Amino acid sequence: MENGNHPSKRRRLNNGYADSPMSSSSDELAATSDHEMERRRASWSAKKAYTARRRYNRRSHSFSDSGSPDELAVDADTYWGRNTREQSRSQSRGRSRSRSRSGSRSRSRSSSSQDTRTSDQGKPEESAQGDYDVDEESRARSEQHSERIPTPPPPPPPPPKPDHVNYKEKFLLRGHLRGVSAVQFSPDGSMIASGGADGALKVWDTLTGKLIHTFEGHLAGISTVAWSPDGETIASGSDDKSIRLWNVLTGKAHPVPFNGHHNYVYAIAFSPKGNMLVSGSYDEAVFLWDVRSARVMRSLPAHSDPVAGVDVVHDGTLIASCSSDGLIRLWDTATGQCLRTLVHEDNPPVTAVRFSPNGKFVLAWTLDDCVRLWNYVEGRCIKTYQGHVNRKYSLCGGFGVYSAPGGPPEAFVVSGSEDGAVLCWDVVSKNILQRIEGHTDAVLCVDTCCYEGKRLMVSCSLDRTVRVWEEVEEVIESRETDESEVNGENMEVTSQGPAQAQDGVTEGDDVHGDKMIE
């Protein structure tokens, strides 16, 4: 009997049950007889065998197909948690597969045979691996789905840069009795100011081409005009050595003229704030005027020859001046100090200067048929534009903007020519974008603006006219040949095309009222 109980005792010791005989106290064992001990051992053995069978049956029932879903879920979670921990321990210790299985069997509560436990454990392991594979597959499928979400397509490339512009004559403004030497758009583009050798200053409406004001007061011809930043005041410089201010809103002149120069006033420019006026004169000096008091704040001994042009940078910190001595000088507005002197190796006379809109460059007109773009910080000429004629007169122009439909804006340089043409160059490539024919004598000044979504250009000439040009689309030009398709609006824009304008417009020509302003 004792031999039959040893296997059962070994299992109890290995399983560590609380009611094992080893847990009995020594006093209890001492107080019993041998016969009593044998009886108790037999009782313990039978009881333990029944408990082991009951526990095994309950576990077998829990993992059988006949169990309820709730029981399977609870027991499976418990089992997989324990099984996962056992596998991680066995991997960390480097145990073999067989040793891991034996360790799992020794820690289990079942007293069934090794084959039964192995088969029961194997099935859940395969199922667990399958669950893990499903999870990994689901995760991979989810990531794959997120990767398949379509990304927005990249924006289309910008349209190619145009190789030309297409300006057509819109208005022919007549009224000056002698050659027109200066013209400029107002800051908002709604008006045009022009001054000529007849000493008159005229203001025109950009939209209709009609004459708004005629200011008279100078005793000699006007060489230069400038708008104040607020668009309410126009300054004019004259050969009578004075500068006068005119109020566009009231139509009256400033009561006090700006007197101080000793010779002709060739060029003027307002500061960005409008509180200072800069002037250049034939007396070789550059004056800085206080607009309110009409007094000279500072006199700059700028050049050794007559000053032909001045300009102020967009932030008001620098002044540029040029002269027939071939020099371009940059001045500090606050101190009056000369910061830089630019001179070309050929040293041609410089007749006009303009700061670029960003203030980084200076555009200069010279009497050698060239317009040069200077990087004044580095002190070098970076671009030279040619194709016009400029040997005798003081010509000036400026910068303009053009672009392809829907494309980014590009910059161009525009200038008049002594042969009566207006030329536009691309700033970067220096290619001629358009040669505009229309004037019959030297074009002395050109200006550009954008007004009500339209790109406009105005030019003045010794032929006594002011012409307004508008950039039009190519489709309008292609319809000129078919008069039946041209409506009244297009007729107004294109009725004076290049062919008709080239022949000149006489005083007796009967032209549309908006085209001809007497």
Which is more confidently placed, 464 or 101? 464
User: According to the model, what pLDDT value does residue 459 have?
Assistant: 98
User: What gap in Å lies between CA 254 and CA 258, rounded to an integer?
Assistant: 10
Question: Is the pLDDT confidence value at 306 over 50?
Answer: yes
Report the pLDDT value the prediction gives residue 112, as an integer from 0 to 100: 44
Residue 14 predicted with pLDDT over 80 = no
Q: Is the pLDDT assigned to residue 78 strictly greater than 70?
A: no
pLDDT tens for each residue of 173-191:
999 999 999 999 999 999 9
Which range is least confidently modeled, 65-79, 192-206, 378-392, 481-495? Answer: 481-495
Q: Which residue has the higher pLDDT, 342 or 28?
A: 342
Burial class (CB in 10 A: 0-12, 13-18, 19+), 486: middle
Residue 462's identity, in one-letter code, is L
pLDDT band at 147 (very low <50, low <70, confident <90, very high): low
Weakest mean pLDDT among 52-56, 160-164, 240-244: 52-56
Q: Are 310 and 278 in contact (CB under 8 A)?
A: yes
Angle between helix axes 2-15 and 34-62 (nearest 10 degrees) is 50
Per cent of the chain over pLDDT 90 is 57
**pLDDT of amino acid 34:** 57
The rounded distance, in Å, linking the Cα atoms of 349 and 322 is 9
**Mean model confidence pLDDT for the chain:** 76
Q: Return phi, psi of residue 130, to 5°.
A: -65, -40
Q: 407 versus 415: which is more confidently predicted?
A: 415
C-alpha–C-alpha distance, residues 211 and 213, integer Å? 6
Closest CA to 281 of 314, 319, 322: 322
457-512 pLDDT, tens digit each: 999 999 999 999 999 987 644 444 444 333 333 333 333 333 333 333 333 333 32
Beta carbons of 201 and 221 less than 8 angstroms apart = no
Query: For residues 350 and 514, what is the distance between their CA atoms, to the nearest angstrom?
Result: 37
DSSP 8-state symbol, 263: S
Reduced to 3 states (helix: H, G, I; strand: E, B; else coil), residue 440 is: coil
